[in-house]
Amino acid sequence: MRGVKTRMLAGAVVGLVGALACFGTEGDEKKGATVEAEVKIDPIYRKYEGKVALTEDEWKARLTPEQYRVLRRAGTEPAFCGGFWDFHNKGIFVCAGCGAPLFPSGKKFDSGTGWPSFTQPVVKGAVVERKDTSHGVDRTEVVCARCEGHLGHVFPDGPPPTGLRYCMNSVSMAFVPQSKLKELGYTEVPTE
C-alpha cells in the first residue's frame, strides 16, 4: 500500500510541475501563434537564396526568449502547454524563426502526446533529420531546412501512410491560416 501511495504522490508532483510549466514567466504567453494574433509572418525565406544564417544577437532580437530557447538551443516546451497541440484550423505551419513552410494542417493528427504531431512535412526537404543522442536516448531531431532551428523529433510510431510522428514544439512554429496564404505569398504551399 505504501508503494502505491508513493507512486500516486510522485505522479501528482510531476503533474503539478508540468501544469506550472505551462504558465511560463511573466510576458511569456506566446506558445505558438497565428497571423491574426500578434505574430507577424515575415517570409524571410523568400528574401534570401539558400540558408538563413543570423548571428546569435540577431536571433535573440527576432525571437521571444522561449522561441530562442527552443529553436536555437534545442529546448522542449512542456506537453499539453503549446498553442498548437489541440489546434485544428486549416492552413500551414511555418518556422517561427524564418517563415519557411513546414507542415500542412491536413497532415496533423492527435497523437495523445501533448505536442502537435504530423505524418509528414509540407514538401520533401522542408525539414532535416539528424541523429540526437542527448539525454542518453537515441532519437531523430527535426530542424528547419532553411534556418536549422530545432523543431522537435520524429518517431516511427505514427499512423499510416507514413508510419511517422513528427512531434513538434508549438513555439517553434507559427500558423498561417488558409485565408492569409495568398496575401502572404504562400500560394504554392499545399494545406492537405
**Residues classed as catalytic:** 167
Q: How many CA atoms lie within 13 A of 7 on its CB side?
A: 4
Share of the chain above pLDDT 70, in %: 74
User: Is 165 domain-assigned?
Assistant: yes
User: Is 6 domain-assigned?
Assistant: no
User: Is 7 domain-assigned?
Assistant: no
Residue 155 CB: number of other CB atoms within 10 A? 16
CATH assignment of the domain containing 166:
2.170.150.20
User: Is 18 domain-assigned?
Assistant: no
Please tell me the total count of domains within the chain.
Answer: 1
Is 103 a residue whose pLDDT tops 80? yes
User: Is 11 domain-assigned?
Assistant: no
- The pLDDT of residue 40: 52
- The pLDDT of residue 33: 53
User: Is 190 domain-assigned?
Assistant: no
> If you average pLDDT over every residue of the chain, what do you get?
81
Is 131 a residue whose pLDDT tops 90? yes
Q: Write the pLDDT tens digit of every residue in 104-122.
A: 999 999 999 999 999 999 9
| Residues 165 and 117 sit within 8 Å (Cβ to Cβ) | yes
Is 95 a residue whose pLDDT tops 70? yes
Q: Write the pLDDT tens digit of every residue in 22-80.
A: 644 334 444 455 444 444 555 554 555 578 889 999 999 999 999 999 999 999 999 99
User: Is 12 domain-assigned?
Assistant: no
User: Is 103 domain-assigned?
Assistant: yes
- The pLDDT of residue 190: 80
- The pLDDT of residue 115: 97
> Domain span at residue 71?
29-180
